[in-house]
Amino acid sequence: MSRVAAIQMASGPNIGANLIEAERLIGLAVEKGADLVVMPENFAIMGLDEEDKVRSCEQSGVGPIQEFIARQAALHGVWIVAGTIPLRSGDPGKVFAACMLYDDSGECVARYDKMHLFDVYIEANMESYTESLTILPGKDVVVVDTPFGKIGLAVCYDLRFPELFRCMLDKGAEIFAIPSAFTAYTGKAHWESLVRVRAIENLCYVIAPAQGGYHINGRETFGDSMIVDPWGVVLDRMPTGAGVVCADIDLEHLSGVRRGFPSISHRKLRIPGS
């Protein structure tokens, strides 16, 4: 059995200030006994505009955000999923939104680049987002073998694409880590439903940290960070504001659920190439 934590933040455009807050919250998660800490999407920077992340992007393996996470992982002897970090791409006007997994010695052992980009117009409140203007989509499905189980990495808008999670399941995933920053409007409508159904249909644990609060750029994010078990039970959650939610990951419980309710083995259709 392992203890995991999901960090909730309300990040702003100042990277230094965000990292100070992240350090505090990682420390709190460690005090609560966490062996694995998952940060939210955009934990280090929620810019005043979309170009801020391009101006602040780092080369893979080098930069203050990556160095901060590596130090924290090694200092506390914990694994950390570093939400998303803007990493340089071949296009000078765009970055990758990289979700990076660090082991307890501070080594980056996996990287997932956000695949599905949030290009939407929400008519009800006239909100518009076009991530593809500044982000290049990733192409690879990432599942990592860890001491806590096989972890599949996804980010925010990815939640709406069940085929990605089936692909991760077919790669052996037992836990999904899904750093997010849902808008207040879409979060109220869909967040809990999406998080819980991804757990239920794949009989996996889900660790879903989120941005939750008001941001200097005028944006409001939904929060409600949660950890959900393979039966869809919410083990811990936080409605809004900065903080930590914690729960235990029990792979024996997961195996028992899958044996007793073998819906995965009852599948009739497969995704081509999975």
Catalytic-role residue among 21, 41, 131, 174: 41
Which residue ranges make up each domain of the chain?
2-260
Report the pLDDT value the prediction gives residue 218, as an integer from 0 to 100.
Answer: 86
Catalytic residue at 58? Answer: no
Backbone CA torsion sign across 107, 159, 35, 204: negative
Cα distance from N-terminal residue to C-terminal residue, the chain: 29
Backbone φ and ψ for 56, nearest 5 degrees, come out as -100, 5
Which region holds residue 193: left if phi is over 0, alpha if psi is between -120 and 50, else beta?
alpha
Catalytic residue at 156? Answer: yes
∠ CA 43-47-51, nearest 5°, is 120
Report the pLDDT value the prediction gives residue 237, as an integer from 0 to 100.
Answer: 98
C-beta separation of 3 from 216 below 8 A: no
Spatial separation of the C-alpha atoms in residues 148 and 100, rounded to whole Å = 16
Tens of pLDDT along 192-241?
A: 999 999 999 999 999 999 999 999 998 999 999 999 999 999 999 999 99
| Burial of residue 170, with CB atoms counted within 10 A of its CB: 0-12 exposed, 13-18 middle, 19 or more buried | middle
Tens of pLDDT along 111-170?
A: 999 999 999 998 888 789 999 999 999 999 999 999 999 999 999 999 999 999 999 999
Look over the chain and give the mean of its residue pLDDT values, rounded to a whole number.
96
Spatial separation of the C-alpha atoms in residues 71 and 65, rounded to whole Å = 10
Indicate the fold that domain 2-260 takes in CATH.
Answer: Nitrilase/N-carbamoyl-D-aminoacid amidohydrolase (3.60.110)
Spatial separation of the C-alpha atoms in residues 145 and 49, rounded to whole Å = 36
* Cα of 252 vs its chain's centroid, Å: 24
Residues in the chain: 274
Catalytic residue at 41? Answer: yes
Residues 6+ apart with CB under 8 A from 272: none
Confidence at 273, pLDDT banded by 50, 70, 90: low
Catalytic-role residue among 57, 99, 108, 156: 156
